[in-house]
Amino acid sequence: MIVTEEVGTVQREAWARGVLPPVESVRPGLWSIPVPMPRNPLRYVLIYALALPDGLALIDVGWDSEESWLALCDGIAQTGHHVTDVRYAAVTHLHPDHFGLAPRLREVSGAALAMHAADATLLGHRTPDDETADERTWEIQLDRLGAPAGVRAAARVDLVRFGPGEYIDVVLDDGAPLNLPGWDLRAVWTPGHTPGHLTFVDERHGLLFSGDHMLPRISPNISTIPGELDNPLHRYLLSLHATTTMPDGLVLPAHEYRFRGIADRAQQLMSHHEERFTEIVAALRDRPESTAWEISTNVSWSRPFDSMSDRLLRLAVRETHAHLLVLADRGHIRSLGGHPERWTLPITPTP
């Protein structure tokens, strides 16, 4: 039985209990479908199904695993449709929990895939030699950040990609309409989490599909990834600032639960990063000439730093690096260069 509810109380309770929420009818013609993410602390991604005159459109598609595929197909069945009824899938960004099932979905249903070109380009086909070179690039970057050898050696480029000669069907630029009958959705480019991250806004229905740009409880990881944005946190803060001007409505995120208060949540996220800037400057005051890795060990995280998996450690040090770049732009710290690169406070002029 599908739960019918607008604000995500049931989802929030399921998140607190560590269980998968049910498929929910958010409002007529709009459903929330949780799709599990095996071996991932986020546990599931929320896929949104929108009724069309001749089938369904999806926002995001889920992780590439058999368990996830079966959950997606079952969730679609609970809406009264079959996976072959999917006509269109708008992907918020390139990460595998959002794009992973896209190639399989397109093969089974013929659905048109839509996303921003900046992310789609990064999902182009790669040969084994290309992937080896990418992994080496990641390892070199982590070495420069001061990460230990064990963390560097575990680096992998974990993306589901298009096959040879394949590409997206619809390129969505900033402001582009999705042209879905019965809906008034348009794409809003919100780079930061990835270069081409998109949110989808329907002002007529008061909806914001936020992807990972804005979540109700946690801050999305903003990292310096080789080949992506040079200064991702700067771009993310600009995207958040733009989000504060959006008309208020129901936020439908890709993780956790639905909520209201678009501008308030954007301000909270900006404040979170300002607090992290302050914490990093204090860490450098105590330990000048530190690497990004050393700084990461001396700031707070949602879990103990030494308990994190290698994957989470890579995310943490790259997130710290993203903060260092913004602080350097502001003149609050400076790079000493070197390999690994070291950071310190600016030179104070002699009175």
CA 60 to chain centre: 11
Instruction: Give the pLDDT score at 326.
Output: 98
Query: At which residue do the structure tokens 């099932």 appear?
Result: 101
Residue type, 35: V
The secondary element (H helix, E strand) that includes residue 191 is: none
* Token duo for residue 32: 């929330």
Mean pLDDT split into 10-residue runs, the chain, 351 residues: 71 90 95 92 94 98 96 98 98 97 97 98 92 91 95 79 93 98 98 98 96 96 95 98 94 96 96 97 96 96 90 94 98 96 83 53
Whole-angstrom CA distances from 79 to 5, 58, 86, 257, 329 are: 14, 12, 12, 19, 49
pTM over 0.85: yes
End-to-end CA distance of the chain: 73
Q: What is the pLDDT of residue 4?
A: 63
Q: What is the pLDDT of residue 269?
A: 97
**pLDDT tens-place string over residues 30-59:** 999 999 998 788 899 999 999 999 999 999
- Give pLDDT, residue 5: 61
Distances (CA, A) of 322 to 93, 134, 223, 277: 19, 20, 6, 10
CA distance 232 to 238: 10
Whether the Cβ atoms of residue 259 and residue 6 lie closer than 8 Å to each other: no
pLDDT (0 to 100) of residue 38: 85
Distance CA 209, CA 28 (A): 16
